């Protein structure tokens, strides 16, 4: 019998889409785990290189539904802190007994009305054995060792105080708990010391509602599914493009490329990067506000979708006492380029990378501009506060 891998993923899609309770979520995770177990076994038992590759891709795409689950439950800032390295997820079949223990724990938690997730079922969460989602911004990270559950705890009377409830742990577990403590502390306090205390890392917020145009995304993808290619000019300097074909170096179709100043075009929030690659910055298409068939097509990579934005259009945009002065883009290589914002006559600079990391794409230019300006205002305030401390 030939296994229909796409149908397995479709079933995972439908099951996650219908989750309406903690118990539903626990059942979904057991199904996801079983799908990974099955594919790992088939991959190990074949000598065919193409089949091995297909099973490997299938496993990563299954875990994309684990990522979608995480995006449904956790704040984006929390998710970014939990992707701590580029090591791939573990081989679950080699730890079946342990994984079944995790599943039992999340099922017990669900029976009591609590939400819990298993990081090893995802591509993007790489800390803890089980995460309790009692708070979307500060989830509880659990390490399971034998019959013991070990976590970082914070003193309820002093929310800025973190302690480890296992004082005598050493070795690898000690490092895991310290890492979990650091993440939890940062999520609570929005700041942490880095480089042995030489620098203070502060969280900033764009502090503005981002206005998406999901209706246009839905329309473009539907048209591409029928006609292979589709484009939509959302506004001057903002274009989305979808194709079912292999894009040649991701060049904008010529019929609309002339409306852009090519030196300041960037691609944000796109799906040109393979979906199975772990990306803690961009929501999976499963989580987008588009139709079910469009979400599934994008999750499967049946359609390539990208958003081209000419950020030179943002120059001159002003909010309160902040103005975007320059975008400083001169082509696709922008390691030394900066977006310059004047706040109270002082200059705040950002690498354009911030747009890739903080703005998910398919957002109006005005929203992107407001995000940059509010983030600059927040950064300026934090710097002044830190100067005051000194």
pLDDT tens for each residue of 280-310: 777 889 999 999 999 999 999 898 888 888 8
Domain regions of the chain by residue span: 5-202, 214-389
The tokens for 58 are: 């299938």
Please state the rounded mean pLDDT for residues 317-338: 72
Q: What is the pLDDT of residue 322?
A: 93
Dihedral of the CA atoms 24, 26, 29, 35 (nearest 10)? Answer: -80
Average pLDDT, the chain: 81
Measured in degrees and rounded to the nearest 5, phi and psi for residue 43 equal -65, -40
Identify the band that residue 206 occupies on the pLDDT scale cut at 50, 70 and 90: low
Q: What is the pLDDT of residue 67?
A: 94
C-alpha 251 chain-centroid distance: 25
pLDDT tens for each residue of 7-42: 999 999 999 999 999 999 999 999 999 999 999 999
Instruction: Answer yes or no: is pLDDT of 247 > 80.
Output: no
pLDDT tens for each residue of 154-195: 444 344 333 344 445 567 777 777 777 777 877 777 666 554
Identify the band that residue 329 occupies on the pLDDT scale cut at 50, 70 and 90: low
- Distance set, CA 345 to CA 15, 314, 320, 322, 349 (Å): 53, 19, 12, 8, 13
Q: What is the pLDDT of residue 359?
A: 63
pLDDT tens for each residue of 314-327: 899 999 889 999 87
The shares of helix, strand and coil residues in the chain, as percent rounded to the nearest 5, are 45, 20, 35
The tokens for 95 are: 């730890």
């Amino acid at each position: 019998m030939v296994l229909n891998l796409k149908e397995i993923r479709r079933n995972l899609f439908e099951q996650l889409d219908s989750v309406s309770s903690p118990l539903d979520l626990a059942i979904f995770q057991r199904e996801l785990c079983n799908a990974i177990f099955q594919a790992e076994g088939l991959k190990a038992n074949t000598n065919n290189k193409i089949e091995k590759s297909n099973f490997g891709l299938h496993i990563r795409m299954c875990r994309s539904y684990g990522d979608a689950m995480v995006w449904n439950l956790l704040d984006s800032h929390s998710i970014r802190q939990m992707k701590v390295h580029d090591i791939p997820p573990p081989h679950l079949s080699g730890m079946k007994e342990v994984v079944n223990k995790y599943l039992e724990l999340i099922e017990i938690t669900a029976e009591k009305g609590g939400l819990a997730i298993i990081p090893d079922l995802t591509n993007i969460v790489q800390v803890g054995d089980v995460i309790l989602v009692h708070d979307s911004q500060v989830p509880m990270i659990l390490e399971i060792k034998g019959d013991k559950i070990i976590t970082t705890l914070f003193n309820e009377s002093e929310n800025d105080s973190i302690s480890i409830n296992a004082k005598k742990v050493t070795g690898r577990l000690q490092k895991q708990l310290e890492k979990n403590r650091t993440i939890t502390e940062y999520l609570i306090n929005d700041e942490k010391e880095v480089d042995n205390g030489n620098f203070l890392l502060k969280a900033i917020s764009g502090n503005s509602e981002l206005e998406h145009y999901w209706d246009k995304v839905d329309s473009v993808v539907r048209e591409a599914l029928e006609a292979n290619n589709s484009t939509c000019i959302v506004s001057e300097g903002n274009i989305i493009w979808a194709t079912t074909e292999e894009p040649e170096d991701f060049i904008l179709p010529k019929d609309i490329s002339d409306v852009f100043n090519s030196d300041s075009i960037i691609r944000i929030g796109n799906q040109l990067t393979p979906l199975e690659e772990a990306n803690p910055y961009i929501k999976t298409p499963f989580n987008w506000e588009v139709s079910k068939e469009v979400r599934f097509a994008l999750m499967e990579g049946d359609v390539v979708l990208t958003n081209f934005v000419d950020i030179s259009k943002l120059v001159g945009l002003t909010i309160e006492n902040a103005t975007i002065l320059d975008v400083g883009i001169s082509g696709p290589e922008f390691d030394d380029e900066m977006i310059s914002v004047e706040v109270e006559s002082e200059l705040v600079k950002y690498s354009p990378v911030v747009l890739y990391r903080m703005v998910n794409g398919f957002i109006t230019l005005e929203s992107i501009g407001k995000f940059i300006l509010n983030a600059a205002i927040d950064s300026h305030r934090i710097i002044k506060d830190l100067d005051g401390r000194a």
